[in-house]
């Protein structure tokens, strides 16, 4: 369903966003920095429901902060066990209930398609805060805004995306979002955690320039952006395999010594040991600025959907 200045009622998939919409949101996010400092009553009297059926710190607090900075309020839960879902209520009934209390719903759910389903039955906007292994559209938007802010452009960049490309939802959403731009993408992962075939095919249909690698050192010298995610130990059937691979996907000072001076390093966080803490102090590290850009992006989005 569509409406409003953004032309979308719901934010379910980054695939629903055009280049124009992404660029417009980046411009709006830019303007939000002043609102963040000074506060605003733009959404006074409005209520956002944040329903998190999976653990989260960043996304939940980021949406809450965005709503508060715009003068609105937040209700919700972050623990299914103390909600009525613990009594066996299905997602549909939870949505049909909560929509009575709020002006928009932010939903994180472990199931593929949960946000899509919720958006189809809700009579208020639904924002996908992560569903299954594929979609996390607001993360993709904030990642793109971060690149834009830090590099000044998206077009023309060479962007490496490294780590668990098979199960990670942020890497897929980011790839879908970047498909609107003129970029070269290098996927770097172990053979067993390659970007799934259907994602590759979607991107190729969009005429995206894609290359796949096993090791970062093959391309480290030429990239402008390195987006890294953690290898999740529990994805490996064989722990020896994990231990063998994790060393190859770690970024440290030595790795960065070969990078362009202005290459930026992004990470959706949380990280485990895939980025050495030493790296935090380098000019490359931008992963602790991403959360701030995330608030600005979500402010722009909430204002577009609710004001």
118 counts as binding a second copy under rule CB under 8 A:
no
Asked if residues 232 and 203 have their Cβ atoms less than 8 Å apart, the reply is: no
- Burial (0-12, 13-18, 19+ Cβ within 10 Å), 264: buried
Instruction: Using alpha carbons, list the distances in angstroms from residue 130 to 48, 58, 105, 181.
Output: 17, 12, 13, 23
- When binding is defined by CB under 8 A, the residue of 21, 24, 42, 68 that contacts a second copy is 68
Specify the stretch interacting with a second copy by CB under 8 A; choose among 21-29, 132-140, 207-215, 288-296: 288-296
What DSSP string runs through 237-286? S-HHHHHHHHGGG-B-HHHHTTS-TT-EEE--S--SSSB-GGGGGSTTB-
Nearest to 299 by CA among 49, 102, 35: 35
Question: Does 270 sit behind a cis peptide bond, omega within 30 degrees of 0 on the bond before it?
Answer: yes
**Minimum distance between the CB of residue 183 and a second copy, rounded to whole angstroms?**
26
- In the shown chain, the binding pattern of residues 4 to 43 toward a second copy, with x for contact by CB under 8 A and - for none, equals ----------------------------------xx----
Shortest CB 94 distance to a second copy, Å: 7
The DSSP secondary-structure symbol of 212 reads E
- Helix axes of 19-38 and 137-151: crossing angle, nearest 10 degrees: 80
Q: Of 184 and 274, which has the nearer Cβ to a second copy?
A: 274
Nearer to a second copy by C-beta: 91 or 151?
91
Binding test (CB under 8 A) with a second copy, winner from 15, 96, 116, 206:
96
* Pairing of β 126-131 and β 73-77: unpaired
Please state, in angstroms and as integers, the Cα–Cα distance from residue 273 to each residue in 89, 134, 186, 222, 248, following that order: 38, 23, 22, 24, 12
Neighbouring CB atoms inside 10 A of 1's CB total 11
Which of 287, 220, 228 has the alpha carbon at shortest distance from 259? 220
List 13, 65, 138, 139, residue binding a second copy (CB under 8 A): 65
Query: Shortest gap between Cβ of 85 and a second copy (angstroms)?
Result: 7
Cα dihedral 275→193→270→257 (10° resolution): 20
Between 78 and 252, name the residue whose CB sits nearer to a second copy: 78
| Residue 269 contacts a second copy per CB under 8 A | yes
110 binds a second copy (CB under 8 A): no
Residues binding a second copy: number (CB under 8 A): 53
* Identified binder of a second copy from the candidate list 237, 247, 261, 270, rule CB under 8 A: 270
* Residue 92 C-beta: closest distance to a second copy, Å: 8
When binding is defined by CB under 8 A, the residue of 22, 29, 49, 199 that contacts a second copy is: 49
Tokens of 305: 């959907």
Interaction of residue 81 with a second copy, rule CB under 8 A: yes
**Residue with Cβ nearer a second copy (72 or 184):** 72
Give yes or no for residue 200 binding a second copy (CB under 8 A): no
Judged by the rule CB under 8 A, the positions of this chain that interact with a second copy are: 38-39, 44-45, 47, 49, 52, 55-58, 61-62, 64-65, 68-69, 73, 75-79, 81-89, 92-94, 96-98, 100-102, 269-272, 277, 280, 288-289, 291-292, 294-295
């Amino acid at each position: 369903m569509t409406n409003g200045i953004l032309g979308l009622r719901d934010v379910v998939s980054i695939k629903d966003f055009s280049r124009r919409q992404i660029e417009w949101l980046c411009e709006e996010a830019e303007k939000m920095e002043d609102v963040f400092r000074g506060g605003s009553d733009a959404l006074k009297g409005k209520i956002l429901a944040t329903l998190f059926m999976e653990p989260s710190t960043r996304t939940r607090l980021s949406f809450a902060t965005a709503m508060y900075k715009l003068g609105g309020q937040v209700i919700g839960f972050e623990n299914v066990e103390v909600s009525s879902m613990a009594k066996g209520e299905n997602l549909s009934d939870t949505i049909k209930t909560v929509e009575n209390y709020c002006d928009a719903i932010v939903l994180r759910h472990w199931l593929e398609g949960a946000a899509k389903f919720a958006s189809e039955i809700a009579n208020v906007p639904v924002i996908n805060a992560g569903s299954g292994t594929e979609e996390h559209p607001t993360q993709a938007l904030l990642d793109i805004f971060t690149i834009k802010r830090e590099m000044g452009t998206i077009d023309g960049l060479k962007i490496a995306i490294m780590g668990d490309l098979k199960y990670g939802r942020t890497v897929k959403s980011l790839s879908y979002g970047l498909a609107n731009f003129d970029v070269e993408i290098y996927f770097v992962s172990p053979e067993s955690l390659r970007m799934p075939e259907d994602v590759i095919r979607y991107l190729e249909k969009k005429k995206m320039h894609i290359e796949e690698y096993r090791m970062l050192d093959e391309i480290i010298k030429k990239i402008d952006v390195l987006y890294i995610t953690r290898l999740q130990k529990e994805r490996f059937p064989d722990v020896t395999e994990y231990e063998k691979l994790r060393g190859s996907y770690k970024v440290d000072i030595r790795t960065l010594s070969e990078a362009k001076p202005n290459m930026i390093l992004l990470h959706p966080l949380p990280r485990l040991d895939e980025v050495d803490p030493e790296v935090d102090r380098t000019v490359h590290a931008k992963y602790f600025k991403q959360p701030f850009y995330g608030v600005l992006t979500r402010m722009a989005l909430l204002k577009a959907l609710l004001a």
